[in-house]
Structures are given as C-alpha cells and as structure tokens.
Structure 1
Amino acid sequence: MSSAFEITEQCSGTQFYCEPGQSVLKAMEQQGLKCVPVGCRGGGCGFCKITVLSGDYECGKMSKVHVPPESRECGEVLACRIYPLSNLTIECRPRESEEPAKQQTTTKSMR
C-alpha cells in the first residue's frame, strides 16, 4: 500500500488507506468502516458530508444544494466525490437531520 494515501478521522482517530483515484467513501466501505451514512454514492443526496481539515484532494461533481460553494471553500465535501492527492485528515459528523427525527412525537386526535 505504498502508493495509497492515509486518511485519519480526527474525532475517533481511525486511520484507513485510500488508493489514488478511489473516493474516500469507497475506501471506507472497502475497509468496513461506517464513519458516515451512505446514500446515492453519486454526490446528489448529501448523506456522506465530511470536513477535510488538512491535505489535498480533487472533487467530483457534488450537489450545490448540499455543498454550496462557500461550504466547499471551508472543506465541507461529500466523501463519495473526493479523491485524495495526499494524506488527509477528515472529520465525520452525524447528519443534522438525524437529531430531530429522534425527538419526533405522535399526536392522536381524541373525540
């Protein structure tokens, strides 16, 4: 794996390797890691959003709804659409929409 790039997830300290030309998400999946939720794998759903804290990478096409240009400038990207050019340090976060779902309540009408 000498040509592979080392990816470090900052919060957990988990390290894994990503081959040149391979997406970070694909590398995670091949190594059995579940750092982020997985959706469409094509840059359209926004489920696999991560923040790149350091390192160089190329970006594929991503939904501007989920990753607007200003977010991308801050390192927010989709793991399915980035390809490392060097070792990376990333931060994986749970989806923001998962928290409110846990707090949903059901209301029944009474007659």
Structure 2
Amino acid sequence: MRIVRGKDYTGSRAWEAQLIAAMQDATVRLHWTDQPYPWHVNDGEEVFAVLDGEVTMHYREAGRELAAHLRAGDIFHAAAGDAHSAHPQGQARILVIERAGSV
C-alpha cells in the first residue's frame, strides 16, 4: 500500500510521469506538466482525470476540431482512435489510465 499526494508531484520535464500501478494490460500514471502534449491517437481507450490545475483538451469529432476546458475533478475519456491534444493552463497534474505501452 502507498499514498500518493498528487498535488505534491512535480516532474523535471513536461509530461513526466510517475507510475502508480500496472494492472493486467493497463497502466495508471500521474503526470505533471506545464506544456501542451502533441496531437495523438491512442491505440486503446484513455481516461484522463485532472487532479490539479486546468487543461484545455482539444479533440476532433466528425471532422471538426473542438475544445473542452477541464478543471480539477473533471475526466476526459478518449476511445481508441480519437485524436486529442491536452494544453495545460499553467501547471497541471493529471491521472492517466490507458493500455500498457500506449502512446
């Protein structure tokens, strides 16, 4: 057992991650960032939960680019094949659950 104080976690570079757990085919990682993450498409589902800070999540749906403003406590779910890009507003801490080895 361990307790992770998400608000205390700071990486040495943007999107640095602390592995929280690896369960069967999934990983749970705590990310710290102050920089946008490039547009990408995961080969599996992704659950993206903002723990601290704010993030504008850009995503594509039906050929249009949209954006959602996420605050602490908000969760974004991307299905396999959904294009998205996260842009923190200052520093943010995010819990990401995704298929092990996913980009």
Rg larger for: 1
* Structure 2 length-normalised TM: 0.38
Normalized per residue, the structure richer in helix is 1
Normalized per residue, the structure richer in strand is 2
